Amino acid sequence: MATKTASGLNVPTARRIPGQAEAERAAKTAEAAARALKEDGQFKEEQPDVWEGYVEWEKYPEKKRLAGELMKATKFPPPPEFQLAPVPKRNPVLYGDIYKDFHHTVGMDSVPEYSWGCVLKEKSKTMNHVLAFPYNGEPNHLELLKDPVTPNDHHFVRNHGGIPKCINPDKYEVEISGKINKKASLKLSDLKDPKQFPQRKLAVTLQCCGTRRIEQIALYPGHGLLVPNAPWPEAAIGNAVYTGVYLQDVLEKACGGITIDRMQAHAEFISADTYFKYDTLYNYAVSVPYRFVDKENVMLAWEMNGEPLPEIHGFPLRVVVPGVIGARSAKWLTRINILDAPSLAPVQSKEYLYYSGQFGKHNTLFSNGFSIERMPVSSAIMTPNDGDIIIHDGKLHLEGWAYSGGENWVERIECSVDGGFTWYVVPEENISKKHYYTWRLWKYDIPLDAEGWCEVLVRAWDSSCNTQPISVRSVWNWDLHVTQSCHKIKLYSVNRTKPLTAQRLKEYEDAGIDFAAEPITRPVPWPLEDMDTYLARVRKYPREPVD
Provide the residue-wise pLDDT of the chain in tens; the chain has 547 residues.
444 444 343 444 434 444 455 555 655 666 566 555 554 555 677 889 999 999 999 999 888 898 898 888 888 887 777 777 766 666 566 788 888 999 988 888 899 999 999 999 999 999 999 999 999 999 999 999 999 999 999 999 999 999 999 999 999 999 999 999 999 999 999 999 999 999 999 999 999 999 999 999 999 999 887 666 788 999 999 999 999 999 999 999 999 999 999 999 999 999 999 999 888 999 999 999 999 998 879 999 999 999 999 999 999 999 999 999 999 999 999 999 999 999 999 999 999 999 988 998 899 899 989 999 999 999 999 999 999 999 999 999 999 999 999 889 999 999 999 999 999 999 999 999 999 999 999 999 999 999 999 999 999 999 999 999 999 999 999 999 999 999 999 999 999 999 999 999 999 999 999 999 999 999 999 999 999 999 999 999 999 998 8
Asked if residues 408 and 467 have their Cβ atoms less than 8 Å apart, the reply is: no
- With CA atoms as reference, report the closest residue to 382 among 397, 405, 400: 400
Confidence (pLDDT) at 10: 41
Q: What is the CATH number of domain 97-371?
A: 3.90.420.10
CA distance 240 to 225: 30
DSSP labels, 418-465: STTSS-EEPPGGGBPPP-TT--EEEEEEEE----EEEEEEEEEEETTS
Contact 265, 338 (CB under 8 A): yes
Q: Is the peptide bond before 384 cis (omega within 30 degrees of 0)?
A: yes
Residue-range domain boundaries for the chain? 97-371, 378-467+486-546
pLDDT score recorded for residue 13: 42
Q: Which of 334, 315, 380, 406 is nearest to 122 (CA)?
A: 315
User: What is the value of pTM for the model shown?
Assistant: 0.90
Helix, strand, coil in percent for the chain, rounding step 5: 25, 30, 50
Q: What does the alpha-carbon distance between residue 283 and residue 108 come to, in Å, rounded to a whole number? A: 14
Q: What is the CATH topology of the domain spanning 378-467+486-546?
A: Immunoglobulin-like (2.60.40)
Distance of alpha carbon 377 from the chain centroid:
16
Cα 531 from Cα 545, distance rounded (Å): 22
